[in-house]
């Protein structure tokens, strides 16, 4: 069965499980995590599309520059993880590559939700180390999953 929308691939419960993982991770950090799906990289690299989505979602405007985007081009089976300047300067390329490999391993087994949950958890742990939760923390960006269905 061919699904017309990417969001149809996931049940309501699976979507909520990912949103809950984001919320749980963000309870420990002032950092922000988002998940973004689209059908195709549109002949760009996954990183180029991820940067574009990062800016489109306003993730480059967080106070501490500690937003992280998990990007998936579902139809192309391509993905990327990017962090804003504040977190990237702390963890470097190696961390993002490790997390990407964990996520891709799960995706190859069609365990998308499990892969996202694990990656969100690990990114959240790293964010909490460098950007711990503050009493006056404001959730700058909502915790929803974004589906670009174009």
Rounded Cα distance between 99 and 42, Å, is: 24
Residue 26 and residue 125 in contact, taking contact as beta carbons nearer than 8 Å: no
The mean of the pLDDT values for the chain is 92
107: Cβ–Cβ under 8 A, 6 or more apart, which residues?
Answer: 72, 77, 79, 115
Backbone torsions φ then ψ of 141, nearest 5 degrees: -130, 140
Residue 142 and residue 41 in contact, taking contact as beta carbons nearer than 8 Å: no
Pairing assessment for the beta strands 78-83 and 67-73 based on DSSP bridges? antiparallel
64: Cβ–Cβ under 8 A, 6 or more apart, which residues?
Answer: 30, 31, 86, 131
Q: pLDDT digit string (tens) for 66-75?
A: 999 999 998 8
- Helical segments of 57-144, H only: 85-108, 112-130
- Domain architecture of the chain: domains with CATH: 6-148 (3.10.310.50)
DSSP 61: G
Q: pLDDT digit string (tens) for 85-141?
A: 999 999 999 999 999 999 999 999 999 999 999 999 999 999 999 999 888 777 777
Output the pLDDT for position 130.
Answer: 96
pLDDT > 80? residue 31: yes
Output the pLDDT for position 3.
Answer: 53
């Amino acid at each position: 069965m061919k699904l017309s929308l990417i969001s149809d691939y996931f049940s309501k419960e699976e979507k909520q499980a990912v949103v809950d993982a984001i919320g749980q991770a963000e309870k420990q950090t002032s950092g922000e995590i988002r998940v973004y799906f689209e059908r195709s990289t549109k002949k760009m690299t996954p990183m180029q599309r991820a940067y574009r989505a990062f800016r489109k979602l306003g993730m480059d405007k967080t106070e501490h520059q500690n937003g992280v985007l998990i990007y998936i081009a579902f139809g192309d089976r391509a993905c990327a993880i990017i962090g804003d300047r504040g977190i990237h300067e702390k963890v470097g390329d190696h961390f993002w590559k490790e997390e990407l490999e964990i996520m891709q391993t799960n995706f190859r087994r069609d365990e998308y939700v499990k892969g996202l949950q694990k990656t969100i958890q690990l990114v959240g742990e790293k964010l909490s180390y460098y950007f711990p939760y503050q009493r006056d923390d404001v959730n700058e960006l909502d915790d929803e999953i974004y589906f670009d269905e174009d």
